[in-house]
Amino acid sequence: MSHAGMSPIFGEAKEVEPGRYQAHLTFEMAGDWVILLHAILPGGQKLERQIDVRGVRPN
Amino acid sequence: MNPSSIPALETPESLPFDLMRIPGLGHLFRWRYARPLLQAPLLIISIVMILHGLFGPTIAPKNLATTLSWLHFRGLLVLVLLCAGNFFCLACPFMLVRQAARRFFKPRFDWPRALRNKWLSVVLFVLLLFTYELFDLWSSPWWTAWLILAYFVTVLVVDGFFKHASFCKFVCPIGQFNFVASTLSPFEVKVRNQDVCTSCHTLDCIRGRREPVSDLVVIRGCELALFQPRKVGNMDCTFCLDCVHACPHDNIGVLSRLPGTELLTDSIRSGIGYFSRRKDLAALAIVFTFGALVNAFGMVSPVYAVESWLGRMLHVSHEAPVLGTIFTFFLILEPVLLLGMAAWVTRAWAGSQRALLPLIVRYTYGLVPMGFGMWLAHYGFHFLTGLYTIMPVTQSALASLGWPLLGEPRWALTGLPENIVRVIEIGFLLLGFAGSLAVTYGLAEDDSPHKPMRAFIPWATVGLVLWVASVWLIFQPMEMRATLMSG
């Protein structure tokens, strides 16, 4: 559940060990967030996954 | 002869500015098909929004239905109302569909007499605000698409059965919002010269222009029962320009005026009557004003603390009863308390002879500018901070159809920086507050000519309370409204 027009945040995941990727993102606002993960597999195939992060609370 | 009784001669400089005098624009407005021309693009956009809402991405910031509805439409709507007038009703796409349908189905019934007021539309307005919060419409393309579809169906049903513009005048919640806000617009559809109307016997502006022999209407008169010579202000005017086209004397223009002056006037108005006797209109003004704060309150962090506390108090886990309690408090109890106290003090302190309810009805219109200021601040914020998002969303929609005509979506495009928009928000709130003070003082002067300050202060205090609450709201951290996308 997110509102149209709010600023998106971008992050690039780095491979920290074979097959394991890590990215640092800062949620700048409380609420429900949606992470859209875009990956290109070794064969060139594109992968898109959606991860819901609900109920992010303010600091 | 007393010099003061001689009417002042109108010099060209003192005449109001007429939008119809602008070359090109005047020709367009006089053209009989101006309205369909303006409606057609909005109808196409509406259809695209419905399709994208139903079949496109489920994430609100990536969907045209949610982006266009909750950012661009609402933002542009309030800004056009502030800077010009009710031009969105003029370009209403629902009416284009209705008009097409009426070629096949002629309505047979008159709108029920008991419903010829604003009570139904007040309920629908509240219901729309309530539904928006309950179903988180801003975050759901699917529900947003269904809302637009439901609007089209309701228009067709209501105006399919009932004559004239029953839907616009008595049902449409967006229309009621526009009517109230347009009391603060700088332009109104108005006769240019009353003398011309005095000598007019055909009354085409209300009856419609007719064939001399068959008496069939060939150009429609006002469907909202506003007789131009006795029309005051913008209330109930959809700017449809039917009267402009029907008037055989070209005596109707879109004239400039001082925004808000019609809130001070209490003369009899064609199609409306007296503002001071219309409890339903006052209720609409209350929902418009206090609803502006409720709508913004639903988007900030404290609302979740309140909801959680209410849920524990009421022993409920579902959101509907909790939201219902919040709405009841802010749209009924709070106005009754604030306005009731102000009316009581006005009676006791300024010696007003009016009873409490008529006093509330009269002074409620003074709060409309403050309400409009809050709508402007809220919708203006989303519109300006998300101004450019239409670009990547359109790029994405085209790309998903296999037509990447505009290139890869540039999701980093958002809008103006928040710190700049905050200043604009404060400006809107100040403008609204100043407008409320001016209108309220005008009403107080008219009501208690000997003690205007005593009548003014209680209502100015209510305006101040609303202003402080509005400023507090826009500085609260937002919640439930964010998206995150990886590159």
Residue B14: per-residue pLDDT = 65
- Please compute the mean of the pLDDT values over residues B348-366 and round it to a whole number: 93
A29, B479: Cβ pair inside 8 Å? yes
pLDDT tens by residue, B44-100: 999 999 999 999 999 898 999 999 999 999 999 999 999 999 999 999 999 999 999
Q: What is the pLDDT of residue B247?
A: 96
Which sign, positive or negative, has the C-alpha torsion B366, B371, B377, B383? negative
| A34 in B contact zone (CB under 8 Å) | yes
- A35 contacts B482? CB cut-off 8 A: no
B384: Cβ contacts below 8 Å, ≥ 6 apart: B75, B415, B416, B421, B424
pLDDT at A2: 65
- A36 interface with B at CB cutoff 8 Å: yes
| Residues in chain B whose Cβ is within 8 Å of chain A | 59-61, 63, 66-67, 70-71, 136, 138-140, 299, 301, 382-383, 385-386, 389, 393, 411-412, 414-415, 477-487
B136 interaction partners in chain A (CB closer than 8 Å): 1
State the CB neighbour count (10 A cutoff) for residue B361: 25
Query: Would you kindly state where each structural domain of chain A is located, as residue ranges?
Result: 14-56
- Cβ–Cβ pairs < 8 A, chains A and B: 120
Model confidence at B470: pLDDT above 50: yes
Tell me the nearest-neighbour CA distance from B70 into chain A, angstroms.
Answer: 7
How far CA B403 is from CA of B40, B122, B434, in Å, comes to: 23, 44, 50
pLDDT at residue B374, rounded to an integer: 98
pLDDT level of residue B484 (50, 70, 90 thresholds): very low
Least confident of B132-136, B205-209, B252-256: B132-136
pLDDT of residue A36: 86
Q: Tell me the C-alpha distance between B56 and B39, whole Å.
A: 24
CB neighbours (10 Å) of residue B113? 7
Out of B389, B479, B487, the one facing A30 most closely (by C-beta) is B479
CB < 8 Å to B477, chain A: 29-30, 58
B340 pLDDT band, cuts 50/70/90, is very high
- Is residue B487 pLDDT above 80, yes or no? no
Set of chain B residues whose Cβ sits within 8 Å of the Cβ of A35: 484-486
| Residues B60, A2: C-beta atoms closer than 8 Å | yes
**Beta-ladder partners of B253:** B190
d(CA B261, CA B456): 17
Average pLDDT, chain B: 92
Q: What is the pLDDT of residue B1?
A: 39
Q: Is the dihedral of CA B460, B462, B464, B466 positive or negative?
A: negative
Segment B398-411 shows an average pLDDT of: 88
Find the CB nearest B484 among A4, A9, A38. Answer: A9
Which sign, positive or negative, has the C-alpha torsion B60, B62, B63, B69?
positive
B371-385 pLDDT per residue, tens: 999 999 999 999 999
C-alpha B329 chain-centroid distance = 23
Q: Which two tokens stand for residue B290?
A: 């206090």
Residue range B288-313, pLDDT digits in tens:
999 999 999 988 888 888 988 999 99
Shortest alpha-carbon distance between residue A28 and chain B (Å)? 9
Confidence of residue B20 (pLDDT cuts 50, 70, 90): very high
- Give B-chain residues touching A49 at CB under 8 angstroms: none
Torsion of CA B204, B278, B173, B422, to 10 degrees: 110
| Burial state string for B216-254 with b = 16 or more CB within 10 A and e = fewer than 16 | eeebbbbbbbbbbbbbbbbbbbbbbbbbbbbbeeebbbb
- Which pLDDT does position B263 carry in this prediction? 96
The predicted structure's pLDDT at residue A56:
81
SS3 B272: coil
Higher pLDDT, B67 or A42: B67
Which of B10-14, B23-27, B465-469 bottoms out in mean pLDDT, i.e. has the lowest? B10-14
Tokens of B77: 């709507």
Res B351: pLDDT: 85
Q: What is the per-residue pLDDT for B353?
A: 84
Q: Which residue of B has its CA nearest to A4?
A: B61
> What confidence score (pLDDT) does residue B480 get?
57
As for the ipTM of the complex, it is: 0.76
